[in-house]
Structure 1
Amino acid sequence: MGQVPGDAHENLIGGRARIHGPAVQARDVHGGIHVHTGAPTAVPPPRQLLPVPVHFTGRGADLAALDGLLTGGGRDTTSRSLIVVSGPAGIGKTTLVCSWLQPLAPEFPDGQLYADLRGHSAEGPASPGEILSQFLRALGAGSVPADMAEKASLWRSWTADARIAVVLDNAFTAAQVRPLLHAGPGGLTVVTSRRRLTGLRMDGAAMHQLEALEPAAGAELLSRAIGDDRVANEPQAARQVVALCAGLPLAVCLASARLASRPRQSLKTLADALTRDTERLAALHVEGETTVSNALDASYAVLTEEAALLYRRLGPLPMRTFDARSAAAACAASLEWAESRLDELVEANLMEDIGPGICRFHDLVRVHAHGRATEEESATARAEALRRVCDWYLETATEAEKLITPAQFTLDRDVVHPAGPPTPFTDDQGALAWLDAHRMNLMAVIRAAAASEWHAMTWQLVDAMWPLFLRLRYYDLWIEAHEIGLAAARRDGNAEAERQMLNSGAIGLSAAGRVDDAAEWYEQSRRAAREAGDVRDEGQALLGLGGCHREAGRTARAVDYLHQAIALWEACGYPRGVALARIVLGEIALAEDDTGRAVEYFTRARAGLLAVNDPHDAARALVFLGRARARAGEHQVGVAAMDEALSVFTSSGAAHWQARALEMLGDSARERGEEEAARTFRARALALFEVTSPSDARRLREAPGGT
């Protein structure tokens, strides 16, 4: 501003003076007030994305997936202006999105906005009005109206032609997001949330679910934080630390920070601390940083009361997967209630949906849920939830047993909480499929029942799993379950259950090739049966001993034991046992190439088993009968019998016996010189044996002409 010399009463703005914004020239004023406005300074485009940590790694596939959603390279043919990235707390959603968008800044010349919607903060979620004010000021709006409707209208005006990217981080609901969506076709909004926000599909959102880091990526993240040398010096402990962090980048970063602050601490020391579930979340804590526990506390705090109850009830349970029926049993609730609550937990990303109707906890979330149950539920309530789940598994497995092996003798069941959710199958094939799908959960509840000293429950669960072991031959589970069941039966003081565990467990030992151990179990069962005066059980032990001696090559002793079993069972009126013994005698005759005697044994055995409604064992007799007839020169009749038996095994899902039938068909084809058919049958048998019986698979590969 300049003043003309010599004229104190004249005020002029001239010379090189520059005015920025409105100006009033004061002091003595002559000739009116002069207001001068300069051109406003341009507001730079906002670049608000959070910085990406230098150790960000392992998300190449996710970055490529987001590229596909943006450009139309995914399932849809058009690009999206709204993308939702969801996943559990600590999975790295915000870091991924910021890492993806930063290199794309040139595509959004009008700016990149960021707002934390505080979806799980203690003070509650941010209001849309608060965020709109923040965004409008960042874009250069000089005056932001107070009214929410006016703010929204102004936001739509400002973004109508803008090429901007907006990150709405940590959203809580779809309703919180909708007022913040921009109006222009050239913009992009990316929402991150611990919930899936499926409601935003109605707004055209593309969804990307973020999963845990792969082990190699987790190890790389650890190396970047604490150095390659420490990881290289303790590679096994490093892998264990990463595994115990369950693929959560937040957890790996916290573990890394703890190790970095303790340069002399070994990785094994931290791995040992993380191994103890009760200390795992506490170990993943660094002062001043968000912890996994705090993040999960925030997710848990906003659940409905009913979903929080289910979260606590499922947390301490020993199973790794859950469906609506087991969840309903745990809470003594209806199936519909459980389905809705599970949906809520999945929506909140506190559970993962891993298959049709099957959910599971992320490993660290399970630890957190267990902790919440310990703090908020009484020991009595936790024990009752476990007992209800055990009762439901016992009831359901027993119903499966009745469908699959109706002729099998079933011991009594002691159910404290009966009449759970309805049975999820209607026929023997569905029942076997259910047992197979739930076998690991059944083993988990067996172990938990044993630890709780529910002795009757323990051996009854083992007994109910018999069809699974018989048909699908999971030898390791078969043997472990019966070792636990035998100990429980003895502690329960139930002699009948003890003999049942000995007999059915010995069958598994023998099938697994542990013939001497099986014979010892059968001898124990035989002695116990004699002491109890139980002729039927004594015959069962003799049948087993006959089978063991046959496997060991002691044929004469085997035949003697089998005839003893038949004599006892004929005397007490147990025709099914007689027929089972005749199958083994037929196998011995067939091995000795006495096909006439073998045909007689198998024919009588099949007739006896059909008479007592035992289709599975009748099919076993039939496949052997077909093989014996083929060996005797009646090839066409023999093959027809083997095909018929194979159909029964295929229909019932008995994979092991499907393989046995296919092997017999292959042997018969080879004897006829039909080499191509023989190779096909043996290849099919080998594929099934690889799953059901590795020892049989090895035997088949090593046999002359093996596949």
Structure 2
Amino acid sequence: MTERRASRTDNSISGGTYYGPVVQAGSVTMNLPPTPAPPLGILPVPSSVFVGRDHQVRALLEVLTPDGGNGPRPRVALVTGPAGIGKSELLLQVAHGAVGRGWFPGGVLSIDLQGYASGLAPLTPAAALGRLLHRLGLPLDAIPEHAEDRAAVYRECLRDRSVLVLLDNTRDSAQVHPLLPPHGCAALISSRNRLPALDDARRFPLSALSPDESCELFLVAAEPHTGTDAEGAATRAHSRRIATNCGGLPLALRVAAARVRGETADHLAELATWLDDERKRLVELDDGERTVTASFRASYDSLDDGERLLFALCGLHPGPRVGVHAVAALADLPLRDVRRRMQTLRNAHLVETDGAGHYKLHDLLHVYARERAHEDVPEAGTRAAMDRLIDCYLYTADRADSAVAPGRYRLPHTVDHPPHSIPDVDERDAALAWFAEEMPQLAALLRAAATTSDPSRCWILADAMRGFFFHTKAWDTWLETLQVALDAATDAGEVRVQSVLHNSMGVALIEQDRSQDAARHYEEARSGFESVGDAHGVATAVENRAWVHQYAGDHLAALADHQQALDVYRGLGARRNTAIVQRGMALAETELGRYEDATAHLTQALEVFLELGLDLDSAMALNGLGEAHARAGQAEPARRHFLRALRRSRACGSLFEEARAREGLAALLEATDPRRAAHHWKRALSQYQTLRSPKAEQVRSRLAALGLSSPEANSARN
């Protein structure tokens, strides 16, 4: 209503908010539209198949409660994760839960920002605001032209109203900032990007479903036909295989379920077999309308050229995790550039990190990255990347092995592509930790090396891991890697290399009480070394054969082989090998009751080991001295040597030698101090069991004789 007073014109408009030109006159009557209100009931219907995520649903609802669960903090929640992880569905489930509780009487606004939509450009903030304002009831000609003006009108429309805003498929923080509602409203946001600049949002990163949740989701979505109990059991078994191959990714599980919905166990078995083949996995995860590949492709296309190349090259790594130094080798980049680009991939949820310098790709993303490498990178580029990667691991393993087993004979080799940088592995503890951490990757790279144009790196890598395996007694993994290397060396006709590997296989086998199998490998080694005129190798095979006699109880034959090897090593000036033979001779002499000879040989060997800084060898010699003195009835020197062996073995991290020392101390204490003896027996048993050593059964029998057949129930503390 306009009221004229004297020569002054005053204008006042009430009853609503008007967007457009202002008209001034002496007397004006205007009928304004009501203030726009958001429409109700526009949320899509959530899926009836929703499994897991209970914790996330509760936490998100807590953010959306009228007090925000945290006083004045904005009620803004950001759900992030890789493509297909179920972000949009989680938002819908939570939004329906919040609306059903009556928390948003002003209604719900929902918009797909098309951050990763195939064939569609992401919505600009201005375009998104235009759509939201139109849904709020503004006519198109009343929506301002500029984004800042639209944002101001948007906030005004939502002021003093309790509205829930869903912003799905967000590309970046700049896209979503102008769309955040004012205080009193709330926002649920989803993105494949971490959106680090979105400071006020409470963050909810999604990871893959657990194996049980994955199987449940697949079964509920697939509704397979089950008849007999046997068919039901088969259906569950095939479902678990399918779920495992989907890697806990809800999109993949739903697509797989759609492929076999309502089908019998036979159809599930067929799909499971197809998915078992990694090369076909992504092709099979296609139900005609949805594909996992398309979802991944949108994330991949959002990267720049350098980031796409780095992601693709990561797919070439055959192991489950890849360290930053390995990525640098793959890409032939310095660490600082690798870390920066990998952070971008992490922000896009294409890789994850464990916080310790390692990255991991989801199983299906790993398959996709490998496909991209073979399709988007020239063959010469992928071949060079793999060569650099293998050489990086080989170079690092060789350095680490030198720290674990200094002075050990190694197969001669050169590295064609030395890495830019490697982890710090020059100290024994760091080297052992690196081997333990990287063993799955090393085993996978060893297999990959066997198929390259230079398979020699396969057996050189196997040889570089020998010290770690002997130290940790991880016999099964050692035998597996040795067999791969032996097959590669056999195919290449490398007789001397085969002999070295046969010797190592014999060591691993004899430690598992498989003496006859070990004897066959030692004989293969001896014959091979003789054929190429390698006297040192022949001596090593003969020395190893001595242990077959030792385990068979033929100590005289063992001494004869030891002496033959000793003569050769002394002639070659091989001090460490000489000391190792003397240690072996002492054990045979102890069994023959030649205690003075045994202690003399062990003392000489110990001096060499200590001089060379060989802690593991020293611990073994000290245990031998303890056993020789104990067998001679000399309890006090036996006790001293076992205690020194215990300290030395713990310092160098050898569980086996520690258990051996405890076993010796327990035997000495059994008659005089049963309680302390039981303590050492129990610790020895636990350590032998950890190592899966056959000696565990012997210790268990001793404990049973003491009336302590269940040490696990009352384990002693250190």
TM-score under structure 2 length normalisation: 0.87
The correspondence of residues 554-565 of structure 1 with structure 2, limited to 5 A, is: 554-565=554-565
Q: Offset at 1:617?
A: 0.6
Per the TM alignment, residue 462 of structure 1 is displaced from its structure 2 partner at its CA by 0.6
Letter in 2 for 1:424: D
2:10 matched residue in structure 1: none
**Partner residue, 1:91:** 85
CA 1:77–1:494: 2 relative to 1, 3 Å? farther
Q: 1:663–1:681: 8 Å Cα contact kept in structure 2?
A: yes
The 1:69–1:544 alpha-carbon spacing in structure 2 relative to 1, beyond 3 Å, is: farther
In structure 1, stretches of 5+ residues that fail to align are 1-33
Alignment check: 8 A CA contact 1:70 1:79 kept: no
Give the match for residue 685 of structure 2: 686
* CA shift for structure 1 position 102: 0.9
Q: Work out whether residues 117 and 172 of structure 1, in 8 Å CA contact, stay in contact via their aligned partners in 2.
A: yes
Q: Which amino acid aligns with 2:181?
A: H
C-alpha spacing 1:666/1:167, structure 2 compared with 1 (3 Å): farther
Give the corresponding residue for 1:567: 567
**Partner in structure 2 of residue 695 of structure 1:** 694
| Correspondence list, 1:92-131, <5 A | 92-105=86-99, 106-121=102-117, 122-131=119-128
Work out which of the residue numbers 60, 64, 68 in structure 1 matches 2:58.
64
The answer (yes or no) to whether the contact 2:616–2:649 under 8 Å persists in 1 is yes
> Do residues 331 (structure 1) and 331 (structure 2) align?
yes
Contact 1:455 1:491 in 2 (8 A): no
TM-aligned CA distance change 1:74 to 1:248, over 3 Å: farther
Q: Which moved more, 1:420-429 or 1:112-121?
A: 420-429
1:562, distance to aligned residue in structure 2 (A): 1.7
**Preserved CA contact (<8 Å) 2:329 2:419:** no
Displacement of 1:90 in angstroms is 0.7
| RMSD between aligned residues | 2.9
Q: Any idea what SS the aligned residue of 1:372 has?
A: helix
Q: Does 1:197 align with 2:198?
A: no
- The DSSP-based 3-state class of the residue aligned with 2:416 is coil
Equivalent residue of 1:58, what SS?
A: coil
Which whole-Å CA distance do the structure 2 matches of 1:69 and 1:511 have between them? Answer: 59
Q: What whole-Å deviation, never above 9, does each CA across 1:345-394 have from its counterpart, x for those lacking one?
A: 11111112234111111111111111111211222221211111111111
1:654-706 Cα distance to aligned partner (Å, 9 max, x none) = 333233333333333324x3233223323333333333234333443233446
Matched, 1:132 2:129: yes
Partners of 1:174 and 1:199 within 8 A in 2: yes
Any conservation in 1 of the 2:388–2:419 contact (CA below 8 Å)? Answer: no
Shift of 1:314: 1.7
- Structure 1 228/260 Cα, relative in aligned 2: closer, same or farther at 3 Å? closer
Equivalent pair of 1:414/1:456 in contact (CA under 8 Å) = no
The unaligned stretches of length 5 or more in structure 2 are 1-27, 712-718
Shift of 1:36: 9.9
User: Once the two structures are aligned, what percentage of the paired residues are identical?
Assistant: 29
Q: Secondary structure at the match of 1:277?
A: coil
1:215 to 211, 219, 224: 211
Compared CA separation, residues 276 and 658, structure 1 to 2 (3 A): same
Q: How far is the alpha carbon of 1:446 from its aligned partner?
A: 0.9
2:687 and 2:267 map into 1 onto residues whose CA distance is 46
More moved, 45-54 vs 117-126? 45-54
**Rounded Cα–Cα distance in structure 1 between residues aligned with 2:35 and 2:176:** 32
Range that drifts further, 571-580 or 499-508 = 571-580
Aligned equivalents of 1:265 and 1:621: distance in 2? 60
Does the Cα contact within 8 Å between 1:214 and 1:247 map onto a contact in 2? yes
- Structure 1 residue 196, shift from structure 2 partner: 1.7
- Contact 2:36-2:157 at 8 Å conserved across structures: no
Shift of 1:428: 1.3
Q: Tell me the residue number matched to 1:520.
A: 520
- Residue 349 of structure 2: SS of its match in structure 1? coil
Judging changes above 3 Å, is the alpha-carbon distance between structure 1 residues 675 and 49 closer, same or farther for their aligned structure 2 residues? farther
- Asked if 1:361 corresponds to 2:355, the answer is no
Task: Give the corresponding residue for 2:5.
Answer: none
Q: What does residue 598 of structure 2 align with?
A: 598
Would you say the 8 A contact 1:85–1:93 is kept in 2? yes
Which has the higher mean CA deviation after the structures are superposed, 660-669 or 238-247? 660-669
2:222 is the alignment partner of 1:226? yes
Corresponding position of 2:271: 270
Q: Pairwise mapping of residues 53-452 of structure 1 onto structure 2 (< 5 A)?
A: 53-67=47-61, 81-105=75-99, 106-121=102-117, 122-141=119-138, 143-184=142-183, 186-200=184-198, 203-230=199-226, 232=232, 233-260=234-261, 266-287=267-288, 289-452=289-452
Distance 1:553 1:173, change over 3 A: same
Instruction: Give the SS at the match of 2:279.
Output: helix
Q: Aligned AA for 2:52?
A: G
Q: Offset of 1:561 from its aligned partner?
A: 1.7
Give aligned pairs, total.
671
SS at match of 1:108: coil
Deviation at 1:552, TM superposition (A): 2.6
Residues 60-115 of structure 1 show CA distances to partners (whole Å, capped at 9, x for unaligned) of 23323434555699998986622211111111111112112212111122222211
- SS where residue 676 of structure 1 aligns? helix
Counterpart Cα distance in 2 of 1:77 and 1:653 = 52
3-state SS of 1:656 partner: helix
Letter in 2 for 1:181: L
Q: Quick one: distance in 1 between partners of 2:343 and 2:686?
A: 38
Which TM-score applies when normalising by structure 1? 0.88
